[in-house]
Amino acid sequence: MMQVPTPTDAPKPTKEEFRIIGDSETMQNLRRKLRRVAGSKADTVLVHGESGAGKELAARAIHEWSDRSNAPFVEINCASIPESLLESELFGYERGAFTDAKERKLGLFEVAGHGTVFLDEVGEMPAKLQAKLLRVIEYRRFKRVGGTRDIEFHGRIVAATNRHLDQEINNGAFRADLYYRLNVVPIIVPPLRERKSDVPLLVEYLLDKISSSLGVDRPTLTPDAMLDMTKYSWPGNVRELRNTLQRTIIFHQPKIITPDVLEINPASRAAVTGSAATTKLTPARDQQALPAGSEDFVLPLGGIDLEDLEKSMLMQALERARYNQTKAARLLHVTRHTLRYRLEKFGLLTATV
Compute the radius of gyration of the chain from its Cα atoms: 22
| Three-state secondary structure call for residue 192 | helix
Last residue of a domain, one of 190, 208, 238: 190
| CA distance to 13, 25, 156, 188, 241, per residue, from 60 (Å) | 9, 21, 12, 14, 20
For the chain, the domain total comes to 2
pLDDT at 75: 94
DSSP 253: -
- One domain for residues 102 and 58: yes
- One domain for residues 185 and 197: no
d(C-alpha 322, C-alpha 333), whole Å = 17
Q: Residue 276: pLDDT above 80?
A: no
Q: How many residues does the chain have?
A: 353
Q: Residue 285: pLDDT above 50?
A: no
d(C-alpha 310, C-alpha 37), whole Å = 42
Q: Residue 68: pLDDT above 80?
A: yes
Half-sphere exposure for 207 (CA within 13 Å, toward CB): 19
Q: Residue 288: pLDDT above 80?
A: no
Q: How confident is the model at residue 289 (pLDDT cuts 50, 70, 90)?
A: very low
Range of the domain at 44: 7-190
Q: Check: CB of residue 212 under 8 Å from CB of residue 173.
A: no
More confident residue, 158 or 287: 158
Q: Using a pLDDT cut of 70, give the percent of the chain over it.
A: 82
Buried b (16+ CB within 10 A) or exposed e, 255-282: eebbbebbbbbbebbeebeeeeebbeee
- One domain for residues 180 and 205: no
Q: How confident is the model at residue 304 (pLDDT cuts 50, 70, 90)?
A: low
d(C-alpha 169, C-alpha 159), whole Å = 16
Which are the contacts of 41, defined by CB distance < 8 A and separation ≥ 6? none
The CATH number of the domain holding residue 44 is 3.40.50.300
pLDDT at 265: 64
User: 68-72, 192-196, 304-308: which has the minimum mean pLDDT?
Assistant: 304-308
- One domain for residues 30 and 152: yes
Q: Residue 5: pLDDT above 50?
A: no
Neighbours of 5 (CB within 10 A): 9
The answer to whether residue 1 sits within a structural domain is no
pLDDT at 275: 36
- One domain for residues 205 and 333: yes
pLDDT at 96: 72
The answer to whether residue 74 sits within a structural domain is yes
Residue range 185-213: average pLDDT? Answer: 94
The answer to whether residue 69 sits within a structural domain is yes
- One domain for residues 198 and 336: yes
Q: Residue 100: pLDDT above 50?
A: yes
Residue range 28-51: average pLDDT? Answer: 95
Q: Check: CB of residue 113 under 8 Å from CB of residue 71.
A: yes
Q: Residue 301: pLDDT above 80?
A: no
* Strands 92-93 and 256-257, sheet pairing: unpaired
Q: Using a pLDDT cut of 90, give the percent of the chain over it.
A: 52
- One domain for residues 178 and 256: no
pLDDT at 125: 93
Identify which of 311, 192, 305 has the alpha carbon closest to the alpha carbon of residue 243. 311
- One domain for residues 110 and 209: no
| pLDDT tens string 130-150 | 999 999 999 999 998 888 889
- One domain for residues 292 and 316: yes
User: Which residues partner with 47 through β-bridges?
Assistant: 160, 187
The CATH number of the domain holding residue 219 is 1.10.8.60
Q: How confident is the model at residue 348 (pLDDT cuts 50, 70, 90)?
A: confident
- One domain for residues 44 and 186: yes
- One domain for residues 38 and 178: yes
pLDDT at 266: 53
pLDDT at 187: 96
d(C-alpha 172, C-alpha 346), whole Å = 37
- One domain for residues 128 and 216: no
Q: Residue 263: pLDDT above 70?
A: yes
Identify which of 140, 147, 146, 143 has the alpha carbon closest to the alpha carbon of residue 91. 143
Last residue of a domain, one of 174, 190, 206: 190
Q: Check: CB of residue 146 under 8 Å from CB of residue 184.
A: no
